[in-house]
Structure 1
């Protein structure tokens, strides 16, 4: 069983959190929500789901997790400016852990400077940022590049979830 960190702040894209989170739990893995502060309520931008952060960013330790998932929406913008979130993602990458981001999720990867030399995709609005971070941008539903998995939008969730589960099993 893998222990998977979900990095979350409010205004995430509802389905990009809910669907991978539920699929990972259904597959028998442990899913833990890491937020900016422990106990913080994180609400989806569409208002269909909300979650409570189980661990605050300052207490998150990459060596306690097997994988990291970063849902999209506006949540990554709030996460990427938090030094503890960025440290966590950098450490997870240094340890070779799986790091998956969908839509705007790669913004956190950009801030952690882990995309250089990797292939990646994302929401088209941050395509140039992904390229400038040194990634080989690809307009595909899911891109797997070593330990990094990226997807573009909610319609890509089935492929995103499939690739995460394939790496976890």
Structure 2
């Protein structure tokens, strides 16, 4: 598998809270979901900005409709709640957004990693080993 850093805009430098800077190679509106095997949605507060992008929400929606793996950690499930139908789907997240996910109809669980079909979710960076192991297993 080839990995691309996709942002709401292409060729833009994004900075983390810890000061890590990364440049997106593509914007979410520039890619064809059929060309991708899955997606990992980061945590932190980036998903709050990502869910304001129609192109990003459409990308997640199309990947979900195709049954492709969608992994979201920490605050990442915010984007899921804005993009896809979570009614009855099992998820986890950082605890502060659990109410948002429950209001979106999700079955929120306080677990290290939750896999429900093509959705893989985790709570915090401490869960990264289990999160990535589950994503790789679902990705195949």
Q: Which residue of 1 aligns with 2:130?
A: 159
What root-mean-square deviation, in Å, do the aligned CA atoms of Structure 1 and Structure 2 show? Answer: 0.9
Question: Which TM-score applies when normalising by structure 2?
Answer: 0.96
Aligned length: 140
Unaligned runs of 5+ in 1: 1-28
Unaligned runs of 5+ in 2: none
Residue pair 1:76, 1:104 contacting (<8 A) in 2 also: yes
User: Following TM superposition, by how much is the alpha carbon of 1:168 offset from its aligned partner in structure 2, in angstroms?
Assistant: 2.0
User: Following TM superposition, by how much is the alpha carbon of 1:43 offset from its aligned partner in structure 2, in angstroms?
Assistant: 1.1
Alignment of 1:36 onto 2:8: yes
Q: Which residue of 2 aligns with 1:73?
A: 44
Runs of 4 or more above 4 Å deviation: none
CA deviation map 1:135-158 (0-9, x unaligned): 111000000000000000011111
Question: Which TM-score applies when normalising by structure 1?
Answer: 0.80
Pick from 56, 71, 82: which aligns with 2:53? Answer: 82
Pick from 105, 108, 112: which aligns with 1:137? Answer: 108
Q: Which residue of 2 aligns with 1:124?
A: 95
CA distance in 1, matches of 2:4, 2:29: 15
User: Following TM superposition, by how much is the alpha carbon of 1:166 offset from its aligned partner in structure 2, in angstroms?
Assistant: 1.2
